[in-house]
A and B are shown apart, each in its own frame.
Chain A
Amino acid sequence: MKSFPFLAGITILSIITVITIIGPYLPFIDKELTETRYVIRDSGEIDVPPFPPSKEYPLGSDERGVDLLSRLVIGAKETLLLVGSIVVIRFLGALLLGVGAFYFRGIRVILSIWHQLFSYIPTIFFVVLLIGIPFFLFSINRPFWFVIILALIEVGRVGDMVYRLVKEVASKPFYEAGIVAGGSPFGLSIQYLFPNIRTQLIAIVSNELGRTLFLLAQLGVVGIFINVAFENDASGSFYIVNQSDSWPQILSTILKDMWSTRIVPFSTITVLMLTVLSFYLVGNGLIRKLTKR
């Protein structure tokens, strides 16, 4: 019974994963996310979106007439990929910097500058500040840069956590024994460090997954788009429009939706919440399993 939270986490996470993979092929999911601007009823009346929940639209539609359930299902893949790649890059960078900082003075200096610089202004402002530079704005690889920026801004903070962990382990007698036995930094790290910090590392990863998803949601709310296209109108001006299907982008119309279609932000946030919750549950469960032995 004690592992119930872990099982619950695994269940939620696997449901999300299964939906991500097979969801787009389900019959009631509209893969193309077609916009329906109006529907003419048999009685001759015209319905305009947002459509309320019905047989055709299980969760209703957004204001452009796109089925909300389809949007959530289609968006899952992009969201998970985005969060996953950000956290993987950040975590690997942090591991390299954190462990490296313990052995090399130069890396320690880089790490502390990086950590300091980005801990003096909230991340969300930094992202807005950097993503607005025309180089990123007009880059065809904007999603790639977006991931890199989000990963690197917080690499210092996570690297610092890893550095502290390493320092703590290394101050223990058994580690000194390893040094005396003539271990190289690499060998020492593998044999002495990692077995002792792996639970904390799992905690870091599950926290980072959750945090990154939060940050993406915040960016979605203020309308910072991950992937953009430029559409021009007749006057010759170009509009920067969202091209991403990911969940956080559904929140970009939240201020309007609060008054018309509450189900849109609410269902999105519920899905986000379940995902974050499953990350935490699985992380905590893994930690418990590892510490038991």
Chain B
Amino acid sequence: MRSFILPIIFKQLSLWLVTTFLLIVIIFIPRDVIYETSKYGDIQNVDYDYKIEKHIGNIKDFFISLKLNHGLGTYYEGNTIEEHIIDKSLRSVKLIIPALILGFFLGILKGIFDFVSKDRKLGIGNSTTWFMLSIPDLFFMISLQLLLMLLYEIGVFPHIDLYGHEKLENQVVCIIFLAIYPLLFIANMTYTSLIEEEKKDYILTARSKGINRLKIVNIHMLKNSIQKILVNTNTMTLYMLSNLFIVEFLTNYRGAAFYFFQAISTPNSFTVGTDFSMNLNTTVGFTVVFTVIIFFSNAFFQIINYWVTPKGKGI
């Protein structure tokens, strides 16, 4: 058993190494510009030239400073960048893991529910799933925030802190926001693959014997369709991390995504001499964090995939 998990991890690890390297190459694209000014000193033109020597030089400089400083350097008042990154990343991981797990399992449940209730005229099956999928997540977040505020104002609900990262309730609200997309995404995937599976002969046989529908789903269909669901987990994780940023932005949750954005965003005004380069060391640090998160999520779901795949049907 273990001998099969190792190759999965090894493959994911090598993919991770290659992509992280490529990402670092992109991060170090030179960003210095030449300002052309008139004799009064106002900017006439801004010139940018890409030079490959400069690009390679940037990467070399980074590794030299890494060696000299034994790390990424200082962030702020004696804190190293590593401490800053780890601190903020842990904050975000507290949201990501529960949201992923919640979204994944509740999503499968919702998918099964949609499937089982598809012929009933309740009108709350799969149509709700994709109706909700077409609503921007932003809308959910803002509506929920406003709703909670309103409920508190009229006094039917206790006060919930919606902004910040210090309290448990901040985390719970953020986890709910974050889990919405994975839940709907997985529900839709589950539903579609169950529908596909339903047409197969062995299901018809089982149904003709009069077995309860839910039982058929649980015993036969889910195991076969879960592979198709797991194939798409990478997309799910990616979208969730994109959303993480919006969630942190809208709720003042100061986590990894927020500080990562701060490191890579460019100034919105400039004068002669303004430097457009990013905070490179922090950027590299956060890039590694994000790719590691995706690596773990990929490896995790791949292992589940291995587990549930019937023997001899491996992909």
**A residues with CB within 8 A of B:** 5, 113, 116-117, 119-125, 128-130, 132-135, 137-138, 157, 210, 213-215, 217-218, 221-223, 232, 235-240, 251, 254-255, 258, 262, 265-266, 269-270, 272-273, 276-277, 279-280, 284
Contact = CB atoms under 8 A, between A and B. Distances in A.
6 contacts: A116-B18, A128-B265, A134-B33, A210-B134, A214-B136, A222-B261
B246 interface: yes
A122 B245 contact: yes
A276 B46 CA distance: 39
Given A116-B18, A122-B290, A138-B33, 13 more contacts: A120-B16, A120-B19, A120-B20, A123-B238, A125-B260, A125-B264, A218-B138, A222-B245, A223-B268, A238-B43, A266-B142, A272-B136, A277-B135
Nearest to A112: B15
A273 B290 contact: no
Contact of B246 (A157, A218, A270): A218
A134 B246 contact: no
A284 B26 CA distance: 38
A180 to B, nearest CB: 27
Contacts of A213: 136
B235 to A, nearest CB: 7
Interface string B265-286: 1101111100010100001000
Interface string B216-245: 000000000000000000110011011011
Contact of B46 (A125, A138, A218): A138
B213 interface: no
A121 B20 CA distance: 9
Contacts of A123: 238, 242
Given A124-B242, A124-B245, A133-B31, A262 B260 contact: no
Contacts, number: 147
Contact of B238 (A122, A214, A251): A122
B146 interface: yes
B58 to A, nearest CB: 13
Contacts of B136: 213-214, 217, 269, 272-273, 276
Contacts of A133: 29, 31
B85 to A, nearest CB: 15
B18 A132 contact: no
B62 to A, nearest CB: 16
A279 B131 CA distance: 11
A221 B23 CA distance: 25
Nearest to A228: B268
B42 interface: yes
Nearest to A115: B234
Interface string B20-31: 101100110101
B238 A238 contact: no
Most A Cβ at <10 Å: residue of B131, B146, B238, B283: B238
B76 interface: no
Contacts of B46: 134, 138
Interface residues of B, number: 61
A240 B269 contact: yes
A265 B142 contact: yes
Contacts of B266: 132, 137
A120 B287 CA distance: 9
Contacts of B42: 232, 236
Given A128-B264, A222-B261, A269-B142, A119 B294 contact: yes
B276 A134 contact: yes
A112 to B, nearest CB: 10
A284 B22 CA distance: 38
Contacts of B260: 125
A218 B242 contact: yes
Most B Cβ at <10 Å: residue of A124, A125, A269, A276: A125
Contacts of B63: none
Contact of A217 (B15, B19, B138, B271): B138
Contact of B269 (A116, A125, A128, A239): A239
B41 interface: yes
Contacts of A280: 130, 133-134
B169 interface: no
B75 interface: no
Contacts of B241: 122
B307 interface: no
B137 interface: yes
B291 interface: yes
B265 to A, nearest CB: 6
A214 B135 CA distance: 9
B27 A258 contact: no
B300 interface: no
Contact of B294 (A120, A210, A269): A120
Contacts of B10: none
Contacts of A235: 271
